[in-house]
Copies of this chain bind each other. A is one copy, B any other.
Amino acid sequence: MTEHSDRVANASTNASVDPDTVEWPVSLAGVTESIVTTLGPNDRWNAAPLGLFAGDGDENDDPVTAKTWGNTRTRRNFHRQGEGYVQFTVDPVAFADAALSISEFDEPILESANAWVRVAVEQVDSGTEGETEWEEWTLRPLEANVVAETVPTIDRGFGAVIEATVAASRLGVPAYDQDALRERLEYYASVVDRAGSEREREALERVRDHAEW
């Protein structure tokens, strides 16, 4: 029952478009998880999770921001290219792959994207947390497209997959209590076991494989 509207909010081919008028295709509040694709030196698009921090609504004074953690492909490609494609997908396998493995594509837009936004990125801050260097970036939409809107649903299995990717990505990082992470992973696995869809089960298997958990 999805609706494929293929509605281009602001076409990049329209030279008269004022970038300030391009809007995010979702309403952002708190932190929203996305997948960003960035063009690498191998001419392929790398997909990785990116947490979007909502601004206060006035995008010029207080734009959406995101942090890169460590010397990742996303960080290097942001520096090299100054832009990327932020995608909104609810495919648990796409998310698990992007989070825990090198996930690269020939095209910037993921097949499972419900919407995407090409953003200009600018580094505005940096620091260190634990042993990890982070950089903070502003993200300004240049072009946005809604591919498919749906009735959003609450799926505990899906949430459990997302949390499992977070916990798995912290395995081996000394700042985190490893026993607590493993207990949480077992609990998320039990939620997927009880409430998950086939696709969520597949995603959890990817988490187990990638994280050797």
Contact = CB atoms under 8 A, between A and B. Distances in A.
Interface of A: 1-3, 5, 23-27, 29-34, 51, 54, 88, 90, 95, 114-115, 146, 148-159, 162-163, 166, 180, 183-184, 187, 194-200
A27 B54 CA distance: 29
Tell me the number of copies of this protein. 2
A158 B25 CA distance: 19
A26 B149 CA distance: 11
B149 A150 contact: yes
A162 B154 contact: yes
A157 B159 CA distance: 10
State the main secondary structure of chain A at its contact with B: mixed
Contacts of A148: 151
A179 to B, nearest CB: 11
Contacts of A34: 153-154
B149 A3 contact: yes
A199 to B, nearest CB: 7
User: Which of A5, A29, A33, A88 neighbours the largest number of chain B CB atoms within 10 Å of its CB?
Assistant: A29
